[in-house]
């Protein structure tokens, strides 16, 4: 952060000059966003340290622990909201959010499409914050490189999974443990794909699965042109141990321009319309038999692909309703 701050007198003029080139028109916006991100990181680290001191480093059996968790949750919400607002302003993003009625009620198990690092803020800013739901996240352990996620994420009841663990069932059990003592105002978020979608990554995944997957199932997976096949371990562990929570699914488009640093730099994300759709499945409509749960997950992924295709096919129109938090 200090290094970036000291470099600003050089970075800003260079970014503005590069932005004059059509192929690099997003460089200035990208540099500004990176600076905002680093500011959020620095603020998050400082506040998290302050909370640790104020609450006197409480342990789980300490009476201060619930208030400590609540304070860290509020910090997490503020961090995500600040990043969303920065991206919205700097990249001139426009949000079209529908299906918000699916977000009302007790905390649910949310399963979302994952197309970019940026889309991870969707559940927080459109679901958790406006509905006062405390989400428990299932995240890949690689994200622990982020200092704020490492510090605050490990204080809160989240699960950082090892996607390459030799003992897959043990990792699935850790995911299912998030359901323990789940309060009515708490929910769980999981990205069933396990990582963000990229066309080249999809090709590798399908190639690997082709040797171990029945032909009819492979044909179905190949029809998911904008999605990775869902990993079954974590999602099915949540369905199998679900104590009575509804499911909420989240489909979206518009984050494709933020998949790579070069997309931000060349301006591909500038002025993007982010279309988000939610739908809810009542607990009573979720199969209870394990094989049927796997078929149910695939059926919802069929719907996810259909929704993403519909969103991609929509034409932008002036005056289209926007629902913003």
Q: So what's the pLDDT on residue 325?
A: 40
Q: Which residue, 83, 58, 61, 84, is CA-closest to 72?
A: 58
Q: Which residues of the chain have pLDDT under 70?
A: 1-26, 315-325
Q: So what's the pLDDT on residue 64?
A: 94
Helix (H) or strand (E) holding 2: helix 2-19
Q: So what's the pLDDT on residue 319?
A: 42
- Distance between CA atoms of 122 and 190, rounded to whole angstroms? 12
Buried b (16+ CB within 10 A) or exposed e, 200-211: eebeebbeeeee
Write down how long the chain is. 325
Q: Which residue, 82, 77, 86, is CA-closest to 129?
A: 77
For residue range 90-122, list pLDDT tens digits in order: 999 999 999 999 999 999 999 999 999 899 999
Gyration radius from the chain CA atoms: 20
pTM attached to this predicted model:
0.90
Phi first, then psi: give them for residue 314, nearest 5 degrees.
-75, 140
Q: So what's the pLDDT on residue 314?
A: 87
Q: So what's the pLDDT on residue 322?
A: 41
Q: Which residues contact 20 (CB under 8 A, 6 or more apart)?
A: none
- Distance between CA atoms of 124 and 139, rounded to whole angstroms? 14
Q: So what's the pLDDT on residue 134?
A: 97
- Measured CA distances, 264 to 15, 30, 93, 257, 309 (Å): 13, 6, 12, 7, 23
């Amino acid at each position: 952060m200090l290094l970036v701050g000291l470099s600003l007198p050089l970075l800003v003029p260079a970014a503005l000059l590069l932005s004059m080139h059509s192929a690099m028109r997003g460089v200035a916006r990208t540099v500004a966003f990176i600076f905002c991100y680093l500011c959020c990181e620095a603020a998050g680290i400082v506040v998290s340290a302050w909370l640790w001191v104020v609450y006197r480093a409480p342990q789980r059996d300490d009476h201060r622990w619930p208030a400590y968790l609540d304070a860290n949750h509020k910090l997490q919400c503020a961090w995500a909201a600040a990043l969303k607002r920065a991206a919205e302003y700097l990249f001139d993003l426009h949000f079209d959010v529908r299906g918000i009625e699916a977000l009302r009620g007790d905390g649910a198990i949310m399963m979302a499409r994952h197309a970019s690092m940026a889309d991870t803020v969707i559940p927080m800013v459109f679901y958790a914050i406006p509905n006062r739901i405390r989400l428990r996240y299932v995240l890949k352990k690689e994200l622990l490189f982020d200092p704020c996620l490492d510090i605050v994420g490990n204080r809160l009841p989240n699960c950082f999974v090892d996607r390459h663990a030799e003992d897959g069932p043990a990792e699935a059990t850790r995911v299912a443990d998030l359901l323990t003592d789940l309060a009515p105002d708490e929910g769980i978020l999981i990205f069933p794909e396990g990582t963000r979608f990229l066309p080249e990554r999809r090709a590798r995944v399908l190639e690997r699965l082709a040797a171990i997957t029945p032909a009819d199932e492979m044909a179905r997976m190949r029809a998911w042109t904008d999605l990775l096949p869902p990993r079954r371990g974590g999602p099915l562990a949540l369905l199998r141990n679900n104590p009575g929570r509804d499911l909420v699914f989240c489909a979206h488009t518009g984050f494709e321009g933020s998949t790579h640093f070069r997309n931000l730099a060349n301006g591909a994300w500038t002025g993007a319309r982010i279309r988000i759709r939610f739908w809810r499945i009542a607990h009573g409509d979720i199969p209870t038999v394990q094989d049927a749960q796997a078929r149910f997950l695939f059926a919802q992924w069929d719907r996810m692909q259909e929704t993403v295709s519909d969103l991609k096919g929509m034409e932008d129109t002036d005056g289209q309703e926007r629902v913003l938090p």
